[in-house]
Amino acid sequence: MNQVQRRGPIARFFIGLWDAMNFTRRLIFNLVFFTLLFIILAAIGSGDRSEPLLERTTLVIAPEGRLVEQFSADQATRALMKAMGAKGGEIQLRDVVRTLDKAGEDKRIERVVLQLDRLSGGGMASRREIAAAVARVRAGGKQVVAFSEGMDQSNYLIAAEADEIYLDPMGGLLLEGLGRYRQYYREGLQDKLGVDVHLFKVGEFKSAAEPYVLDAASPESKEADLYWMNDLWQRFLADLGRARKQDPAVIAADINLLPEGIAAVNGDLAEYALQHKLVDGLKTREQVQDELVERGVADADAEGGFRRVSMDGYLSHLDAARKLSPDRRPKVAVVVAAGSITGGDQPPGTIGGDSTSALLRQARDDDEVKSVVLRVNSPGGEVFASEQIRREVVALQAAGKPVVVSMGDLAASGGYWISMNADRIYADASTISGSIGIFGMIPTIPRALDKIGIHTDGVGTTPLAGAFDISRPLDPEVGKVIQSVIDKGYRDFIGKVADARGKPVDGVDEIARGRVWSGAQAKDRGLVDELGDLKSAIVDAAKRVELDEGDYAVTYVEKTGTPFEQWFGGFAETRLAGLLLRDSDLARGLVARALPATRADLKLLEDAITPTAGVPVKALAYCFCALD
């Protein structure tokens, strides 16, 4: 009789361990599977994520985040962050303007409330564009009320357009003027660390790299900066004076006497704002909400006790309506070029020589697109990447599609390079532009190495072999080579501007040399054609292909997410997803992995010293001239 052979204790141990592991694996797989199945079924069954928009609704615009031209995170990440209750993300300028413009036409919206305390970023041109949209709402006969618990002058430029401005009695509002100060590193780098920075540039006003070779701003830099900053400041005062029905000179005088004025009210900033007619009353949030209940429709279930819709909620209604009726009209495409210009394929919120060129080619190849608006908000960057994008603008025109540029807060240096060939250039009067010039920079560190007892030596087959090794002193003859390359780059820049703008090269050189101009000053000098916002540029682009208002649709040509990202983005915006994800550690982990890496402020200068094949130095057309 055969006996069953019994396994030994070691074999039984490993077999039991394997069975336990196999059971655990199946359990985890099933948990993940059923969790995903539940989420999918919940998304399908969640239905419309927008509550009905009723008559006599108050639109509350209370953005929390940084004002940008274009999101830097994908749709799924943004929606996931919102579902988790994360604050301080990004607010697209176009969304704020679209919300205000649509609300002005929407009979269901009775009034608009502005709460701007947590809106940051953006420059003066962006704020003026939003302020103009607020003014259009008022011009349409709808009331606009602004409330703040503490406001800076950038947001006050928008709030000033409201019918009424209320400030919390414990709040504050200060108008302080425009300032632009930077840190200078020469002593720290050269004297303390032994790092010698060699700067090669053309143009006495090209000051982007001055902090690395000077201990303070050059006289030319101060002269140029104060010239355009004063122009922006006077326009700021004029805008406030018109909106608040005050003499701009009186506002300016009050600012100059601010210490005495604050002392006169015993340091009460809110009372100071009221006495100087910057606000219409001092009220708490609860008092303003009570006022809105009386003016509107009471709703005990709504935040604040009155019938309301948030900006995000209102945008959801607008987007849902647009999805129900696809627009088959001819299209004016908008391509956004926002951020620093670098080579290669870059994510949204940054300009890539390859990626932005690809978007322009996409617009060129799309038969439904009849003309293009290039929205530029950039301080510039790499010369070669800028030239790649400029060539695509020319290719669009050669294909019979007009290109109109709309400049945002900043379109300087490389930002102007990609703009100059447009059929028409629009800028806000307070846009920062110009800075036509280039520079290159090479640090050398032999003195720094000497301090720690390290020395470099060797041989080369030619005098140039190893000449660009930063551990060796820079040979003056090599410096001449680099300066020649920069000189040639500057001649290319002003030559292309002269051809594009129909001006003599000498005339361009007079207004170039790295000097920065306001939008109004740039127009006076022929660098800009018209003063106007994005909407003006879109209308112009449509007219160039004989399309009147109502005959065309506006479409943004941007990188789109994968089908899963788009689906998940839509699900994460539902109320059900908010409940599931708001306190989810897993979701937080996903966000941490998905968010784009933050870039250090000096990333561009780090890139400047990164070797580029075939050239001794990377030529940069960049302007450190933003105010935000």
> Given this model, what pLDDT does residue 498 score?
98
Residue 515: strand, helix, or coil:
coil
- Enumerate domains of the chain plus CATH numbers: 57-173+279-321 (3.90.226.10), 327-559+598-622 (3.90.226.10)
State the chain's mean pLDDT as an integer: 87
Q: Which of 206, 331, 401, 618 is catalytic?
A: 206
> Given this model, what pLDDT does residue 398 score?
98
- Over the stretch 274-306, which tens digit does the pLDDT of each residue have? 999 999 999 999 999 999 999 999 999 999 999
Q: Which two tokens stand for residue 4?
A: 């069953």
Listed range (143-157, 169-183, 568-582) with the worst mean pLDDT: 568-582
Tell me what the mean pLDDT of segment 532-537 comes to: 97
Q: Please report the DSSP string for 388-432 in residue order.
A: HHHHHHHHHHHTT--EEEEEEEEEETHHHHTTTTSSEEEE-TT-E
Q: Would you say 623 and 495 are in contact if contact means Cβ atoms under 8 Å apart? A: no
Which strands form 65-68's sheet, in the order they lie side by side?
Answer: 89-92, 65-68, 119-120
Phi then psi dihedrals of residue 438, to 5 deg: -140, 165
pLDDT at position 108 over 90: yes
Residue 320: strand, helix, or coil:
helix
pLDDT at position 58 over 60: yes
Listed range (352-361, 440-449, 577-586) with the worst mean pLDDT: 577-586
Looking at per-residue confidence, does 426 or 48 come out higher? 426
Residue 332: strand, helix, or coil:
strand
175 band by pLDDT with thresholds 50, 70 and 90? very high
Tell me what the mean pLDDT of segment 190-212 comes to: 93
413 is catalytic: yes
Amino acid residing at 108: R
| Cα gap 221→517, rounded to integer Å | 12
Length of the chain as a residue count: 628
Which helix H or strand E contains 127, and what residues bound it?
Answer: helix 124-139
- Over the stretch 35-54, which tens digit does the pLDDT of each residue have? 666 665 554 444 444 568 99
- Over the stretch 516-528, which tens digit does the pLDDT of each residue have? 999 999 999 999 9
Looking at per-residue confidence, does 414 or 349 come out higher? 414
Listed range (217-221, 318-322, 541-545) with the worst mean pLDDT: 318-322
Q: Which of 316, 406, 413, 430 is catalytic?
A: 413
> Given this model, what pLDDT does residue 600 score?
38
The DSSP output letter for 525 is: T
CB atoms within 10 A of CB 482: 21
| Cα gap 102→428, rounded to integer Å | 22
471 is catalytic: no
Q: Label residues 280-305 b or e (16+ Cβ within 10 Å = b).
A: bebbeeeebbebbbeebbebeebebb
Q: Would you say 380 and 338 are in contact if contact means Cβ atoms under 8 Å apart? A: no
Q: Are strands 341-342 and 351-352 parallel, antiparallel or unpaired?
A: parallel
pLDDT at position 455 over 70: yes
Q: Angle, to 10 degrees, between the axis of helix 353-365 and the axis of helix 383-398?
A: 10
pLDDT at position 611 over 70: no
Location of structure tokens 């008022």 = 138
Listed range (60-64, 228-232, 569-573) with the worst mean pLDDT: 569-573
Which helix H or strand E contains 13, and what residues bound it?
Answer: helix 9-45
Tell me how far CA of residue 90 lies from CA of 69, 95, 134, 337, in angstroms: 9, 11, 20, 17
For the question of whether the overall pTM of this predicted structure is more than 0.95, the answer is: no
Name the residue among 50, 59, 65, 40 with its Cα closest to residue 103. 59
Listed range (64-78, 91-105, 387-401) with the worst mean pLDDT: 64-78
- Sign of the Cα pseudo-torsion (343, 523, 555, 79, in order): positive
CB atoms within 10 A of CB 566: 15
